[in-house]
Structure 1
Amino acid sequence: MTLYIDVIYGLNTVVTASLLYMTGKWQGYEFSLFRVLFVALITSLPLFLWLTDYGAMLLHPVSQVIVCICTVYFAFGFKRFARFIKTTFTFYVISLLSGGAVIAMTWFWQSSQLLQTWKQTSSWATLDHMHGLLVLSTLPVVILLTQITKHSLKEEKRNENKIINVRIQMDGIVESVYAKALIDTGNHLKDPITRKPVMVATLSVLESVLTNDSLESFSTWLSAEGTKGENPWNENVRIIPYQAIGKEHGFLFAIQAAEIEMVSGDSSHILNRALIAFETRAVSSEDRFQCIIPPEMVPAE
């Protein structure tokens, strides 16, 4: 098999530029695509050492670390030591993941009957044994998966920042219950008379203060809109109208609880006679939170 140094240099430049692009996006840098490409062109030049007696130096771990650090430095500069180390580590990890993806894609293509037929019938032989094509075909997949993962992590972090702990005291008889609540800016439920905001909670938060029979009867009462079953707090019911997509109007039964305490970090805030609309289904598919709180119920920091 014959490998041409200029072809390897071109492939290494494209791969390095792609890795720098993903690193910059992950770390939130403002960077120029031209600068990233230029740095990739410069930092790929040591490959030509393979034409000399010093080519084996490139395999030494120290040489690889130096090239990695110089690549990150020239691409994004140096502002703070901690961020620079974090960026370098991110670049290194993405490089390892991309290398694993290339190996996996190589195995896939080598076992592909379609590729074998193409190699036998095609006259295109610029890259021997299709290694260049394998690398280039992997890059879009790696970039796409990286962007999806980044978006997923950012969304999860954003939601985590909106989740707080709550303590619910329904009345002076039953004990308090504890749950996690999501602060949802899209929740605009309010009592039409008092204009009090309404928290939405899944019925399962009451499992520790109600018996199974009482919980089942309350669930039936909610599902039947008060025509069947029994509500333990029937004297504190409020009817809350709402609108939703695909449904012009509807009604929720809210219970006026004695108090709700919201805890965020070291601070807490108590709402007296707050309204809670219970749902028989879970409000979070992954059970990361059990309540949804409108922003009006949370005190401004």
Structure 2
Amino acid sequence: MKIYIDVLVMENIVMNYLILLLTAKFIRHKTSHLRLFLGALVGAIYVVVLILMPDLKMYYTTLAKFALSLLIIAIAFSPEKLGLFIKTLAVFYVSTFIFAGAAFAFLYLNQTGGFIRNGIVYIWSSKGTTLFFTVATVGIIIKIFWDIVQQRFSKEKLLIPLKIAFGKGTIDLHALVDTGNSLYDPLTNSPVVVVEFNAIKNILPMEIQSIFDEAKENDLDSVTQIVSDSRWLSRFRLIPFTSLGKENGMLIGFRPDYIEVGENTEKKGVTDVIIGIYNRALSKNNNYNALLSPELV
């Protein structure tokens, strides 16, 4: 059997990248595509070493493969805490098993040439379409699996502590982790935490408070004038939205000094975030005062 190194490297980079991308989605970890690619490339280089140097049996050992996994995780995600590193590694293995199983199933059902062995993926096809359909099959399986997980373990009703710091003030409240909250600041692409005005009023500048006290938040001219005259101009912005019961709406948002999500050992500090101010109640029974994107948890 002839094995073409360029095809082998390309296929393994693609598969490794998708595995790492799925891992990032599962753990909701923000990383760059470059880091994911570099992690995938390291895995592909390992495969080439196995093919070109079959006598180096030490690289076939479980310990060597485990060490490779640690290196790939460090490159792709660089987890700062040991607990997060272990969690990422576990999810990485689960993602790998899903991809390997789906790819093997496609190879078996399609009766196409190829193999998956010792961490090596190699597929050949005279039409060059086998890899595409293998990845497509894996994608469909992952989509179904992800939907099941989202439905079964949804965080839509999870309430967690949230602390917001702005200027000289801080405020503590409870936030609902809402999978439907996909608001992002169009300028910085930072996630937006939607917070009730009454819950955050005390840490806002007086001129900003007046906008909501006088119900002027929908008067774009007034809002623009007031914000422009404020010394906090650089911290405030307008965020378009099509939710919260209103289409083509506009939220007044600001960049806080930082927020803290969670409590005790799971407390997480975030600075790359925008607070969107909503001048209505978010909860009928006042159980929570903010809507939090799952990626901030």
TM-score, scaled to structure 2: 0.46
